[in-house]
Amino acid sequence: MATFASRILGLVTLASLASSAVLPGALEPINDISHLANFSAIPLSLSSWSSEHTTPNISYSELGHILGQVGTPPYKCDPKAYGRDLHVRSCRDALLAIPADTRKLKLGSRGPGDRRNDVNLPYRFSSDDAVCVIEISPPVGGSYDVVTSLELARAAFSIVEGCVSNAELGRVGGEVLGLGQYKRLSISVSAYAPEVQCAPPGAPVAPPTAACDSVLSVMSASRNEKTFGPWRSSSDVDLPASIKDPTNGCMLVVRADVYTPRPDKATWYDIWAAAVAVRQMCVLKGRAGQSVRMGYRGALIVQLLSGRYPAGLTLTN
C-alpha cells in the first residue's frame, strides 16, 4: 500500500490556533483505504438546509420579532436529557442557522427510500463553536412528516428563550414535541462538548462543505452500539472505515487513535454528531478536521477530509 509523501503538521484546536501553538504527538498515517470491504460511496444527496440556505443578514432580535408574530408552541425544559448551563449566545447562533421560510419540506428517516426526503433525520443545526446544537429527531409513528422550517425555527426559539435563557432554571436545554403535519417530529436544544481539531489554513486536504453535507445527510446515524476495531478482526466495523461522496470531494474517516489501538465501542449516531461538529468548526472555515477521543474508551478519531488526498496523508494532534 502506498504511503504519504507529504504530511500535514500542526493540527490544532481552535483555541490554540490563535497563538500558533501545535499540539504534541502524531497519528499513524492513513493508508489507501479504497480497497476495504467496508468502504462505501454514497449517492449525492443535496440537503435543503445547506450552508447556502441559512437565513441571511438577520439579527437574533429581528428573527425573534418574526417568530413572535406567529406565536410559539409549548416546550419542556429537561436538564437531565439536554444539559444545563448552556451558552445562550451559542444557542441563539445555532437558531440563526435555521431558515425562517414557509416552504413545505418532507423530513424522513434515513435508510431505504431516503432519497425521496428533502432532509434526512436526525439533522442538526450547530453554533459556530458547536457547544449548542438544535436537533430534529427522526419521526415517531411513521417514516416521514411534512413541515416548514419556520415552524421548526419557532419551536427552537421557544426553547432557547424559555429554557436556555432562563437563569432561574439554570440555562437548561429542552424540547418541543408534536411538530409537522402529522405531529411526528420533535426538536431539541442541547449542550454538546466538541473535541475538535482543525488543520492549518490552506492545507490541501480541505473538503468542500456541500460534499460533506452530502456525506452527513446519508450516512448511518443509528444509536445501536457497534464495536470498531482493526481490519480483519472480529469487530462489527473494521478500521479504518470511510464514507465519501461520489464526487470524491469529502470523505469521512473513522480510525483508531495510535495511542489506544484496541477495539472500542460507539454508535454511528455519536460518530455522525462528532462529524457535524467538525463540519461546523473546520470545514465551513475551509479546513479539514477531526474529532478526537470518541468511543467508550476514547480510542476513536473521526475525520472529515478531501476525498482526493494522496494515499497515506497524516494529520497530527
Q: pLDDT digit string (tens) for 68-92?
A: 656 678 999 999 999 999 999 999 9
| The C-alpha cell that represents 186 in the structure block | 420533535
Q: Could you tell me which residue, 118 or 313, shows the higher pLDDT?
A: 118
Query: Mean pLDDT over residues 242-261, rounded?
Result: 85
First to last CA, the chain: 24
The answer to whether residue 251 scores a pLDDT higher than 80 is yes
Q: Rounded to whole angstroms, how far apart are CA atoms 317 and 313?
A: 13
Q: Grade residue 279 by pLDDT with cuts at 50, 70 and 90.
A: very high
Which pLDDT score is estimated for 29?
A: 33
Beta strands in the chain (DSSP E): 12-13, 40-41, 76-77, 104-109, 119-121, 123-126, 132-136, 144-148, 174-179, 185-191, 196-198, 225-230, 237-239, 241-244, 251-256, 264-267, 289-294, 300-305
Q: What is the largest CA-CA distance in the chain?
A: 61
Which pLDDT score is estimated for 206?
A: 85
Which pLDDT score is estimated for 230?
A: 80
Contact criterion met (CB below 8 Å) for 273 and 228: no
The answer to whether residue 311 scores a pLDDT higher than 50 is no
Q: Could you tell me which residue, 51 or 16, shows the higher pLDDT?
A: 51
Mean pLDDT for the chain? 78
User: Percent of the chain scored above 90 by pLDDT?
Assistant: 56
Query: Mean pLDDT over residues 250-273, rounded?
Result: 89
Strand 174-179 relative to strand 76-77, pairing: antiparallel
Q: Could you tell me which residue, 105 or 312, shows the higher pLDDT?
A: 105
Distance of CA 83 to the CA centre of its chain: 18
Q: Grade residue 10 by pLDDT with cuts at 50, 70 and 90.
A: very low
| Among the ranges given (29-33, 93-97, 192-196, 267-271), the one the predictor scored with the smallest mean pLDDT | 29-33
Q: Could you tell me which residue, 76 or 204, shows the higher pLDDT?
A: 76
Q: Could you tell me which residue, 160 or 31, shows the higher pLDDT?
A: 160
Strand 119-121 relative to strand 132-136, pairing: unpaired
| The C-alpha cell that represents 213 in the structure block | 453535507
Would you report the helix, strand and coil content of the chain in percent, each value rounded to 5?
25, 25, 50
> Cβ contacts of residue 209 below 8 Å, gap of 6+?
50, 51, 279, 283, 284
The answer to whether residue 8 scores a pLDDT higher than 70 is no
- The type of residue at 132 is C
